[in-house]
Amino acid sequence: MNKTVQAQVQGKSPPPLKTNEKWSRDGIAALFNLPMNDLLFKAQTVHRENFNPNHVQVSRLLSIKTGGCPEDCKYCPQASSYDTGVEADKLMQVDQVVAEAQKAKEAGATRYCMGAAWRSPKDRDVTQVAAIIAGVKALGMETCATLGMLTPEQAVTLKHAGLDYYNHNIDTSEEFYGDVITTRTFQDRLDTLGHVRDAGMSVCCGGILGMGESGEDRVGMLHVLANMDRPPESVPINLLMRVEGTPLADVDDLDPLDFVRTIAVARIIMPESHVRLSAGRENMSDEMQAMCFFAGANSIFSGEKLLTAGNPGDDKDHALFARLGLEPEPFDAEQPAP
């Protein structure tokens, strides 16, 4: 093991790197290869240094424009090229979204995330979404949106409307990306994230596990996230929801411990980020979720539905939190701007 990798694994300051990398691929791979007890201990130690270990940030996700997407993401039931039974709907009205956000707030959510199935929104779409964002922001909640690729001007418009976070996942490693999506490039993803940062918004960016990727692909995905000029403030780690009609409907199950390992490594290499246990919780046991929280996950989506997929309901989440001694993270209205 070289000195840089050894220092990273042991938690010591590594010697100066010859590149601008904060974490090398070898260093991240070494973490994945640690004995599970050592990995979880290190992840929990890092977690406690940066967060209250018994707080979990709670978000709610709403599809404000469903279906009809021209992209060919092989995991997505909203792609128009797949027959999944998802019907295309128009963009919801402002009052409808605000009413749903109010319900989410009353149920304990502090961040409201809104998703629209576009490849990239038109300027008139962004104007309409900006009005929705302003309405949700007026409730005193954090706001997040995922609308596809943005231009620099559109990102500024959303920021001025009160958007706090923009979600745009890289999904997987750059090497595996073309096996999952062909209608936009990996660089397209990074370009939009750059526009979001330049506009002054926080970034929500992660990926999906269980799409048939290799362990090296999981290393590669986290390598990109950790080495951004500023790592994402929110890192959603999704477990593939296999949907009939999509090309990934019959992919093999992911080993649950591989998922837990990815959560732990993400926590170690992005110590100040919220790591979200995102899509797929409906198919996770309570014990698997508990291990993920111990490994450093400290954010979830609440409610019975994500964009189109199922999710554990509030009652089930409240019961699990009670069993584990977890509490929703209080909303901090004075969070510093990115």
The set of catalytic residues is 69, 73, 76, 113, 144, 204, 276
CA-nearest of 194, 82, 94 to 149 is: 194
Number of Cβ within a 10 Å radius of residue 63: 20
Taking the CA atoms of 118, 246, 175 and 19 in sequence, report the sign of the dihedral they define: positive
Encoded tokens for 138: 């007026």
Query: In what helix (H) or strand (E) does residue 145 lie, and over which residues does it extend?
Result: strand 142-146
Q: Are strands 207-209 and 165-167 parallel, antiparallel or unpaired?
A: unpaired
283's CB contacts (< 8 A; 6+ apart) are 239, 241
CA-nearest of 241, 159, 236 to 202 is: 159
173's CB contacts (< 8 A; 6+ apart) are 213, 216, 217, 218, 219, 220, 221, 223, 224
In 66-129 the beta strands, taken as DSSP E runs, fall at 111-116
CA dist., res. 272 & res. 269, Å (int): 9
Give CA separation, 208 vs 167, 184, 212, 224, 238, in Å: 13, 17, 10, 14, 5
Beta-ladder partners of 235:
275
Q: Is 171 exposed, middle or buried (0-12, 13-18, 19+ CB in 10 A)?
A: buried
| Single-letter code of the amino acid located at 227 | N
Beta-ladder partners of 300:
58, 277
